[in-house]
Structure 1
């Protein structure tokens, strides 16, 4: 790719870019699967011819399926889902005809190590959870539940397997759910970050999570959110769409926001000093901004805790997680 005049992305080393004025061609590769896109049809044809001389190639036409991810296009944007992946998973586990669950995990669950003495098939459990981890790429609605069951891979019990089965029963409810990337001209980058401080029953560790739109423990979770925003900013810059104003990272913890802005407070929080300097530097350079968001509007909540079905589905709507296969 470099010999043919392409530049390797620093944001993603599997991405190669070539720019000619306002024309852009992008190629992304995973082992022997390649996706080419852009607005320069002539360059794409040249690239295809060049690669065909170097490798045995097959043009599969417009992108519809890639690494288990289904791609659907419309005038409104691009929709990504893993419907076939979900249905195959349900068929393998004998749950195609199961009674669906309304949420992927129970509220106030008490899942921990040593819940009961009855073990379950370890290899089968690990394989199932591994497949659910991959599914979370297009199904962030199961991300928290999967993060919980993945903590017991080394010694799963029947209770842990029941929790995995509940995730599968939730998937049966709407196997075609996925992510809608709407078509618009707004390239403002916005993020939401949240953390459940010492929420793990097993080891009292915290769970942090963040959502990004192109468009204390809480504080440490903020640093992860900032890293994601910076990565998106770098990628957009390489694609020729550098954000023109500070990116917003919404947080529902005022103390965390105060620590980020106020250097005096860090004396009481030595364990987050590195994160504090990292975040404050980005604030001072006007790369990010930290607006406060009320807890009821905190979209990242579903990544850090089990919430009631009302909050859960309200968040999914705001996140643009939908189902184009659902009956109208």
Structure 2
């Protein structure tokens, strides 16, 4: 989804049209190489039998079918002059004589955009002759995500998916609430009083799995979903009540989605934060970061750290390293898309101690236990790739992904992240 959001942000900036194609399933599994051979199962013939079955077409259900389909499609696109991205192998880029075309593939669904409608039509024609495709026109619905157009903006929403989720669990007529989780919520106190395990674990797992997919366009529920996903195999009734509370929050605005508005720059900007010792059972901290391309949110993460941090400064430093990795990957991806980002890329953090550790190589006493791979942040700061910026805690957008917020701050951060509900008249 990061690539989809990045391509949409670039398309909005350059006013490029977005088109969607669908490859016929019969051809998806039927126009594979004729040089593929399938060995018969053991015991079907005697050990001395040397005959094999020649596979003219790829059979549906074989493990090799998706790989062979991808190889076939990749070969055709490379022959057309496309170059496969090294940052994301599902992305193909055509850059020649001032013509730019981006093609994004997910199995048999394809999104195409570029600055030349004639070249896009040519690519469609060749793909249709090779695979028999369905031209679905302007991009409107992709992988369960609705693409809405509003003046100079594009919004990604999963309203239909969200309403089906609420209906499935009987929360379509529930009373909505304003936040996905209580502010500074700690579940340990309630678990001490009620340690009753859920009997229907599969139902809880199904709900969390659907919420994980919904978080692709709803960063406002990312922290709550990552917290609940830690208890997939041994949930308590308290965890189920938290998941139901999240459904009540979704009922407030099921059509809310991520908006991409045209701006005057395509530079990368990051926010990184952590919540030290958040998990009371393991004492591990939570990493949260969000990355903006211009004014558009293109990447975010809320995740529990893998090791225990001895101080809040160490936890913040680890969060900054995670955000730096994402910034560098996005810059490399944009470089392949022929989009130049100015250096340094600014990374906002509200911990002065973590910023000092990143900038001062002599600051050894507090960092002698750090893993070697964490020190790459110092190298990027020294080389001018990353510039750390001290930001006030009230303006730290990454707090959105590390803890529960109050109603006023939650709604303010939703606006800053360009989360809108185009289905509501007042928005």
- Using structure 2 for the length normalisation, give the TM-score: 0.74
Residues 1:25 and 2:104 aligned together? no
Tell me the distance in 2 between the aligned counterparts of 1:159 and 1:212: 32
Tell me the distance in 1 between the aligned counterparts of 2:367 and 2:102: 44
- Hey, what does 1:323 align to over in structure 2? 421
Contact kept, 8 Å, 2:359 with 2:382, in 1: the verdict is: no
Tell me the distance in 2 between the aligned counterparts of 1:76 and 1:43: 24
- Hey, what does 1:9 align to over in structure 2? 85
- Hey, what does 1:297 align to over in structure 2? 395
SS at match of 2:185: coil
Residues 1:219 and 2:219 aligned together? no
Q: CA deviation at 1:37?
A: 0.8
Residues 1:82 and 2:161 aligned together? no
- Hey, what does 1:247 align to over in structure 2? 345
SS at match of 2:370: helix
Tell me the distance in 2 between the aligned counterparts of 1:230 and 1:73: 30
Tell me the distance in 2 between the aligned counterparts of 1:40 and 1:20: 11
Q: 2:264 aligns with which of 170, 178, 185?
A: 185
Tell me the distance in 1 between the aligned counterparts of 2:281 and 2:108: 41
SS at match of 1:11: coil
SS at match of 2:340: coil
Tell me the distance in 2 between the aligned counterparts of 1:24 and 1:244: 21
Q: Structure 2 matches for 1:1-328, cutoff 5 A?
A: 1-112=77-188, 115-215=194-294, 216-328=314-426
Tell me the distance in 2 between the aligned counterparts of 1:38 and 1:74: 20
Tell me the distance in 1 between the aligned counterparts of 2:373 and 2:224: 27
Contact kept, 8 Å, 1:120 with 1:158, in 2: the verdict is: no
Contact kept, 8 Å, 2:270 with 2:348, in 1: the verdict is: yes
Tell me the distance in 1 between the aligned counterparts of 2:291 and 2:225: 20
Q: CA deviation at 1:202?
A: 2.4
SS at match of 1:219: helix
Post-superposition CA distance 1:233-261 (Å, at most 9, x none): 11111111121231111000011100000
Q: CA deviation at 1:120?
A: 4.1
Contact kept, 8 Å, 2:197 with 2:234, in 1: the verdict is: no
Tell me the distance in 1 between the aligned counterparts of 2:128 and 2:408: 52
SS at match of 2:269: strand
Tell me the distance in 2 between the aligned counterparts of 1:305 and 1:271: 27
Tell me the distance in 2 between the aligned counterparts of 1:242 and 1:309: 38
SS at match of 1:264: coil
Post-superposition CA distance 1:34-92 (Å, at most 9, x none): 11111111221121112112213111110001011111123322111111110010011
Bigger Rg over Cα: 2
- Using structure 1 for the length normalisation, give the TM-score: 0.96
SS at match of 1:137: coil
Change (3 A) 1:272 1:76: farther
Contact kept, 8 Å, 1:246 with 1:289, in 2: the verdict is: yes
Change (3 A) 1:297 1:275: farther
Tell me the distance in 1 between the aligned counterparts of 2:232 and 2:424: 33
- Hey, what does 2:63 align to over in structure 1? none
Moved more, 95-104 or 18-27: 18-27
Tell me the distance in 2 between the aligned counterparts of 1:212 and 1:163: 28
Change (3 A) 1:322 1:228: same
Structure 1 unaligned segments of length 5 or more: list them: none
Tell me the distance in 2 between the aligned counterparts of 1:221 and 1:64: 35
Tell me the distance in 2 between the aligned counterparts of 1:279 and 1:81: 35
